[in-house]
Amino acid sequence: MKQMQHRSYKTNMTYLIPPHGGYRELKSFQMSELVYDGTVAFCGRFIDRRSRTHDQMVQAARSGKQNITEGCMASGTSKKMELKLIGVARASLEELLQDLEDFLRQRGLPKWGKDDPMAKKIRRLAYEVNRSYTTYKTYIENSPPEVAANTLLCLVHQTNFLLDQQLRRLERDFLEQGGFTERLYRVRNQVREDRSDKTYTTYSYWGQHDILQQPLTAFFCSHRCPGPLVAKAYDLAQKWRLEGRPLIGGFHSPVEQEILRNMLRSQAPVCVVLARSLPKRILAEWRRPLDEHRLLLLSPFDARVKRATRETAARRNQVVAVLAKTIFVAHAEPGSATEAFGREMAAAGKTCMTFDDPRTENLKAAGFKTLLL
């Protein structure tokens, strides 16, 4: 059995999926939230709840806010998706803008010009300390329809201005830095080339390092998995055993662990990526496959990381995604980290597969291809 060794790769994993999210700090999101709250109140006062216009205006305001949120969360793995969703937010608010202008025109109410004293007053509220919907509440909920509609128009115009600025910045960043797919391709090649450089990140491993040169399939499954999908996963593992398919994963959930046990009893090569440093002692079930050069234990963490955490598990999954040619997710519980990870990988252009089953509709909707046993 090979002793623990170290290899270095130029794979800055904190850069592979850069910091993203943080939408609550964006001025565009904060403004869109004010627009949404104001639209709900405005429509409740002046638009018949049974009318289609009521629903369309509220949904347009909600779409503006929600697409900013989704775009920011997707930005870590898809700049293209971020650009698209921010653009959808901008379009939704433009639709709301037209509805508000229609409201004024059809009732013979004046639309404030940008130099109107009231319009200037509303715009100045953007500089108030601790500004919230309460800052505008009186103008929307306790004022005549002319004031309420024009107040919302001012808010939408300010939000659209911020979104236009945001889109221009995203376009410039994309042209200068590229997107996640380009980073993924670049980092994957750097990992495989295994060149030595002082800027490389060090990985420790036990076992057969050449396994990384094979077309690896990553296996993932949520902790909670419906019985029929568990059975399908075990049948698939049996098929992979007979094929000798190279497998990679963290193998943390119960189904993943059982798949690992089955694969270790075969001749198929397996790479286990840990969410902590390499253990000082080798488990008994690992010894034989290590001796037979068909197992690789890999850790991107130094000896100080003694236990797995949510953060180290997320980084572990990033490593698995870089090294794998194909990602297979047997089941992702809706709203789970596994589902979020799967969506990110599919959006990034990775080849992602799942079972053709009604319980995997969330993955298929994210772009996963289906596998028939």
Which CATH class, in words, describes the domain spanning 200-371?
alpha beta
| pLDDT score of 8 | 41
**Residue 274 backbone class (left: φ over 0; alpha: ψ -120 to 50; beta: rest):** beta
Of 42 and 318, more confident:
42
pLDDT at residue 126 above 80? Answer: yes
Report residue 285's pLDDT band, with 50, 70 and 90 as the boundaries.
confident
The DSSP line for 15-44 is HHS-----GGG-HHHHHHHHHHHHHHHHHH
Pairing state of beta strands 201-207 and 295-299? Answer: antiparallel
Report residue 202's pLDDT band, with 50, 70 and 90 as the boundaries.
low
β-partners of residue 297 are 206, 272
pLDDT at residue 305 above 80? Answer: yes
105: helix, strand or coil: helix
Would you tell me the crossing angle of helices 79-106 and 52-74 to the nearest 10 degrees? 160
Alpha helices by DSSP H, listed for the chain, are 13-16, 27-46, 52-74, 79-106, 117-124, 133-141, 145-177, 180-193, 227-243, 254-264, 284-291, 310-323, 337-347, 361-365
Residue with tokens 């794979």: 11
339: helix, strand or coil: helix
249: helix, strand or coil: strand
| pLDDT score of 79 | 79
| pLDDT score of 19 | 59
The DSSP line for 176-224 is HH--HHHHHHHHHHHHHHT---TTPEEEEEEE-GGGGGS--EEEE--SS
Report residue 306's pLDDT band, with 50, 70 and 90 as the boundaries.
confident
Neighbours of 17 (CB within 10 A): 21
Domain ranges of the chain: 19-176, 200-371
Tell me: the pLDDT tens digits for 66-87?
999 998 888 767 778 888 999 9
Return the structure tokens found at 131: 């500004």
CA 94 to chain CA centroid, nearest Å: 26
| pLDDT score of 303 | 83
d(CA 297, CA 207): 6
Among 186-190, 201-205, 255-259, the range of highest mean pLDDT: 255-259
Tell me: the pLDDT tens digits for 180-190?
666 666 666 65
Tell me: the pLDDT tens digits for 4-62?
454 443 444 434 556 566 788 899 999 999 999 999 999 999 999 999 999 999 999 99
Would you tell me the crossing angle of helices 254-264 and 227-243 to the nearest 10 degrees? 20
d(CA 335, CA 276): 25
Q: Between vectors from CA 213 to CA 210 and to CA 217, what angle results, nearest 5°?
A: 115
Which of 337, 290, 297, 303 is closest to 317 using CA atoms? 337
345 contacts 327 by C-beta, under 8 angstroms? yes
**Mean pLDDT, all residues of the chain:** 87
Residues with Cβ within 8 Å of 305's Cβ and at least 6 positions away in sequence, in order, are 276, 277, 312
pLDDT at residue 118 above 80? Answer: yes
Pairing state of beta strands 5-9 and 201-207? Answer: antiparallel
pLDDT at residue 246 above 80? Answer: yes
Residue with tokens 């059995």: 1
Pairing state of beta strands 295-299 and 270-273? Answer: parallel
Residue 91 DSSP class:
H
d(CA 315, CA 303): 16
| pLDDT score of 178 | 67
